[in-house]
Amino acid sequence: MPDAHLHIAGRWRHAADAGTRDVVNPATGSVFTRVDEATPADATAAIASARATFDDGAWPGTPVTERAALLRRIADLLVLNKAEMARIETLDTGKTVAESEIDMDDVESVLRYYAALIETESDRVVDVGVPGVISRVVREPIGVCVMIAPWNYPLLQISWKIAPALAAGCTMVAKPSEVTPLSTIAFVELCSRAGVPPGVLNLVQGAGSTLGDALTDTDDVDFISFTGGLATGRIISEVAARHVTKVAVELGGKNPHIVFPDADWESSVDQVLTGVFLHSGQVCSSGTRLIVHASIADDFVDALVAGAEQIVMGDGLDPASKTGPLVSAAQLAKMEEFVESAKAEGAVLRTGGGRPDRDGLDPAGYYFAPTIFDHCDATMRIVRDETFGPILTVERFDTEEQALALGNDTDYGLAAGVRTSDAALGERMVRGLRHGTVWLNDFGYYTPAAEWGGFGKSGNGRELGPTGLAEYQETKHIWHNTAPAPSRWFTSTEDGVQ
């Protein structure tokens, strides 16, 4: 890790006012390091650096093969440093090292995916039917990008932005969450070592509430890519609209997991549990709403309760831990508040609901037990709002139509799961569900080659896949007449005008 934590115009710097922020280990609740906290002036300087570097033209004009090779060198360096990067991610987020290692593998994959994709891109030739005219549509980098990321998958989420932006030839300012800044700092250092030119990838740290305006309320930015909560997404969209800046917001989810009575029992119990309790539920696509057929609901929920109570919770650095603490005291307080509101609304608490009763957990760590509320309905706040924590709600259905209606009864539309052994029923359900990703007899998986994003209030952009690259590009139509001749529109000899 570098000594200073802002990266502007190729140099590591401290904040203009020398301000810092504490970084807390969620497993212990204690401060273990500090990072520089940027001022708005630092953020403006970072944008100016990205702007000047883009306008200079050298980086956007770099041959595609060189940009692809650079992405692969970053991936190679990440692999060499994987153990340390995973340890940093765990210290910062609380997730288990096994999860952090998977995150690092996924970051490597996205870098290699966009390296390969950019090399296969070609111009689109358009036959305009005019002799001598060569017409083609080319893609060019969109320009200066601002990338704002959340704390749940700190490096993974920002890599879904940095990798396609580098591939496309953009320059950028990245701002990780102030809650989890460390892995992005370490990653930007790897990028510099790999040869990312000065000014291409700038980095600022700090709270969105202080840096947000400097990063978004400006005409110097061409694209804002934001991943985070709905409320923040709304603010950023409104600010961007004032400047007619393109913006993509990737927001929250309230994701249904629908289980029909003919579903494979063992994998269904297993995946409903991992779908909601992995990373203590701090996953945008977490399957927090179980929608289960009434005929199997009681037995199914009993099996889930038994499974939830066996989940080994602990410090993410302990290899025995299967899930870690919540990321912050604020997140813990939010879960406690959700539990009280669910009880008040009449949901039946089957397990969890507070701090886990387990030996060996640091009392100052932000642990919250896997929690299941049965007998919920779609009017309850616990079913409508994103909790972003380890809370599963259970609703029952009798017919396919009811299951589909419940699955779509949400303001969000990020992800959904369906479980049935009837292929035709499954296909009807996956086409009927209004969500950006739908899993049939699986849950939680993704690939860098397939688009990720939401319907409804889960957002308006797409990351990953070819669309995730296109977000960082403009298209330009080039009309090249190789045999120019006058059109004589205004100089027709028939009209006697010369």
- Shortest distance (Å) from residue 74 CB to ligand NAD: 22
* Closest residue to ligand NAD, based on beta-carbon distance: 208
User: Which of 284, 376, 395, 471 is flagged as catalytic?
Assistant: 284
Beta strands in 99-132 (DSSP E): 124-126
Minimum CB distance to ligand NAD smaller for 143 or for 212: 212
What is the rounded distance in angstroms from the CA atom of residue 165 to the CA atom of residue 172? 8
Residue 250: active-site member:
yes
- Shortest distance (Å) from residue 286 CB to ligand NAD: 8
Minimum CB distance to ligand NAD smaller for 202 or for 420: 202
Element (H, E) at 257: strand 256-259
Residues found near ligand NAD in the complex (CB under 6 A): 148-153, 157, 175, 177-178, 207-209, 212, 215-216, 227-229, 232, 235-236, 250-253, 284, 386, 388, 414, 454, 458-459
> Residue 76's closest CA among 173, 191, 241?
191
- Shortest distance (Å) from residue 463 CB to ligand NAD: 7
Percent of the chain that is helix, strand, coil (3-state, to 5): 40, 20, 40
> Residue 361's closest CA among 318, 331, 329?
318
What is the edge-to-edge ordering of all strands in the sheet holding 133-141? 124-126, 133-141, 473-481
Q: At what angle do helices 182-194 and 64-80 cross, to 10 degrees?
A: 130
Structure tokens at 399: 């017919």
Structure tokens at 315: 């410090």
Element (H, E) at 475: strand 473-481
User: Which of 178, 250, 463, 471 is flagged as catalytic?
Assistant: 250
Minimum CB distance to ligand NAD smaller for 62 or for 210: 210
DSSP class of 383? H
- Shortest distance (Å) from residue 435 CB to ligand NAD: 11
Minimum CB distance to ligand NAD smaller for 175 or for 289: 175
**Exposed, middle or buried by CB within 10 Å (0-12, 13-18, 19+), for 371?**
buried
Minimum CB distance to ligand NAD smaller for 73 or for 246: 246
- Shortest distance (Å) from residue 187 CB to ligand NAD: 15
Active site residues: 250, 284
